[in-house]
Amino acid sequence: MKTVLITGCSSGYGLETARHFHAQGWNVVATMRTPREDVLPRSDRVRVVALDVTKPESIAAAIEASGPIDVLVNNAGIGLFGAFEVTPMATAREVFETNTFGVMAMTQAVLPQLRARRSGVIVNVTSSATLAPMPLVAVYTASKMAIEGFTASLAFELEEFDVRVKLVEPGYGPSTSFTSNGGARMQGLIPEPYAPFAQRIFASLGQPSAVTRESDVAEVVWRAANDATGKLRFPAGPDAVALARST
């Protein structure tokens, strides 16, 4: 029976992905900064493990507690919406610490066992913001674009050891806690000169033609984790799929 370790499982895409892999009969290591047992099925195939991907000691402890891993899903991420002009560099670094360096650190921690076994998959969850430019998310997009480039290069590097690396690119998911989780981080990031523009953007987001559900992402992560065709990019959600086709 295979084991998947998924980061960022307290809500949203990570939580639904953990439920999906469990429903498919896998062992699931669901990691969260603040562990909550009540959000996942009670099962001897589900373990909730504390993990902060920005802290090396937390990563080391989580990997040790998890045992052998067949698939790593780097899903943990934080959002940011606002005008770049007034975004503090400390905030930009905070976003990169989780969205970029956290993914790299988790990958580096898991790779030795995958390489030694000559098997396994790493799935990095980015965003459809990497498929087409979007306004007021410059720092967030940069953090995810970095992982797109990182993943594409790493996929070549690890072919030598029969380890597969995949990208999942979710669309806009209004039912997730993406915005609320970043509320404090986004305070003051829409200054007065940008307000009319931001209002138009918010209005367009309030009337999307298509959106991404948590189940869309969970199913695509599952597909990517089991894909043996060499395909790298997997858009998730009807809006992301449409964007990928248009680029």
> Which candidate in 13, 140, 172, 194 is catalytic?
140
The count of other CB atoms within 10 Å of the CB of residue 48 is: 19
3-state secondary structure of 144: helix
**Exposure class string for 6-42: b at 16+ Cβ within 10 A, else e:** bbbbbbbbbbbbbbbbbeeebbbbbbbbeeeeeebee
Helical packing angle, 138-159 and 102-117, nearest 10°: 10
3-state secondary structure of 100: helix
Distance from the Cα of residue 236 to its chain's centroid: 12
Residue 140 annotated to the active site = yes
Q: Nearest CA to 17 among 130, 127, 170, 174? A: 170
- Residue 183 is classified by DSSP as T
148: tokens are 């797109």
Residues 6+ apart with CB under 8 A from 193: none
List alpha helices for the chain, DSSP H. Answer: 12-23, 56-66, 89-96, 102-117, 138-159, 178-181, 195-205, 214-225, 238-246
Active site residues: 140
